[in-house]
Structure 1
Amino acid sequence: MVVKNEADRYLPQMLERHLPYIDEAVIVDDGSTDQTINICAYFLQSIPHRIVHNESSRFEREHELRKQQWEATIATRPSWILNLDADEQFEFSFNHEIEALLRQQFADVFYFRLFDMWDADHFREDPYWTAHRIYRPFLVRYRPHIRYTWLQTNQHCGRFPIEIERLPYACHPARIQHFGWSNPVDRLYKYERYRQLDPEGTFGIKAQYESILAAYPTLIQWEE
């Protein structure tokens, strides 16, 4: 996981939700100035873990940050890598399903759908907010013989190396809630951040950036 100033957001509930099936944790702290590192250390004290702290943020060159995360993780010689952000969490039912995924031999990558939560109980769905219709990789079996490379973009480079797209995969119905948009303050912060880091929409979609602050987005009730 990559974190930065997550202490007053969703980090505690995220760690508590996933701790039951984490064997080891690798955290890259990208220049936090709050209690993020202490919270991680507290919740992870019962399992092996490593926290890497960057004195200054690397987010402006995201591919370097994600590569750092990957290299710190594979240094632990993992069998499987679950890559989540501090504002993402699987629905409760996944606790009972992950063991079977780790034991099977037909797939090396599992893809899941990510739902952009606009408040605690609703996700957004309109022309620019359809992430939940697409399956994306979050769980990868580590194959050490592969030479891994990264998409060289400063934003939206992906959380895994390019080569995992060539591995045998399966799509899984378990859903992931993404709470990064669920607070109006966070939405304003992200809007301003994208305007600064990607003003022309070179790495993303400019119209989507502008839609972040829409007054009346279409919201759908989340149901477990």
Structure 2
Amino acid sequence: MSADFSRETQAIATGFWPLAGIDEVGRGPLAGPVVAAAVILDPGKVPAGLADSKLLSAARREALFDTIAGTALAIGIASVTAAEIDAINIRQATLLAMKRAVAALPLAPLKVLVDGNDPPPLPCPCEAIVKGDALVASIAAASIIAKVTRDRMMARLAQLYPAYGFAGHVGYGTAVHRAAIQEHGPCPEHRYSFAPVKGVWQR
């Protein structure tokens, strides 16, 4: 099922425009940043097939990334590093990434729609929508932008730290990844506050 633009249409009708959707990717991995994106779609050019990025193939995400980048009125992308995650915890890092993504928009939104039930502190109204990345077009677009961006970042880190296989698991705690940590120890891109790194190695 594709996300639709009806929630945005309702908001626009009540004067909330520009309106952005935001989402983040990377709460669970053992390595790499958490990445957030904010997207203001053009109401006249909403891409077809927007959906939760986790449900799309890599090829489909890449294609939609290009379509969104070519049609959206504004996109903001931001990340929070592994070291920052260790310093402030993953929840605060996620909220910070979303706040940074909204701040990076070249248009200041009058309202923001965010996936989940834990909205970031923002200078404008923010509505949290459970499963928003599957239901709301702007949030789905943000989830795709964030996911593709983070995957590309992890592919670059895979070249810097080839022992860990980041390109395959993008930092998640797979058996292969955990075995690599045990064999080689963590690298600077690992989250030292996450098991199995926590309590074994210090940053």
Tell me, yes or no, whether TM beats 0.5.
no
Higher helix proportion:
2
Higher strand proportion:
1
TM-score, normalised via structure 1 length: 0.27
